[in-house]
Amino acid sequence: MLLSAQCTDKKVNEVTPALFAAGPTPSAMAALTEAEIYEHIRQLGLAKTKARNVHKLAHLLITVHGGKVPSSFEELEALPGVGHKTASVVMAQAFGVPAFPVDTHIHRLAQRWGLSNGDSVERTEKDLKSLFPPKSWNKLHLQIIFYGREHCTARGCDGTVCPMCRELYPKRRQPVIWRRP
């Protein structure tokens, strides 16, 4: 998650195995230099900043959190390079706390499907949380991401390709964008 800004999940998944082989624990990652971390992730956008954040984060996990990933939104969001979306993913996936992480995929699909007006990811998160019960959030955000990747891609859906868009907009080639009244 820390590495995903300005690049694809596919690219992050290509470089992380070697990075985590070199630094499989917070202590091992902290022992690497920023330059060594950078060499593993240099193919990613913003690699120098990300290397610095990974290095600082590893040190903070050891010195402040006893080598453990913190289990609150506030503590997670205080870590370098960790924003609300990343904190939400960690809380949902690692700790089972209801959260609805909104990335660009979910933001785009929620707007396309008329579930949010799409003004901001913050607004989309609020709208989705109001539409669905908390017990469904952790699973539903993943289902939306996977559905979008498979059926309703950013450039690949014109309202006729994706089964969801065809169902929602049977007489239109393009989905209607929901706008605030």
Q: Could you list the active site residues? A: 85, 103
State the number of CA atoms in the 13 A half-sphere of 176 facing the CB. Answer: 10
Handedness of CA 145, 150, 152, 157 (dihedral sign): positive
Residue 92 CB partners (closer than 8 Å, separation 6+): 98, 99, 100, 101, 137, 138, 141
| 55 vs 120: CA distance, rounded Å | 30
Euclidean distance between the first and the last CA atom of the chain, given in angstroms as a whole number = 35
| 63 vs 136: CA distance, rounded Å | 35
Only one residue has tokens 């989905």, namely 175
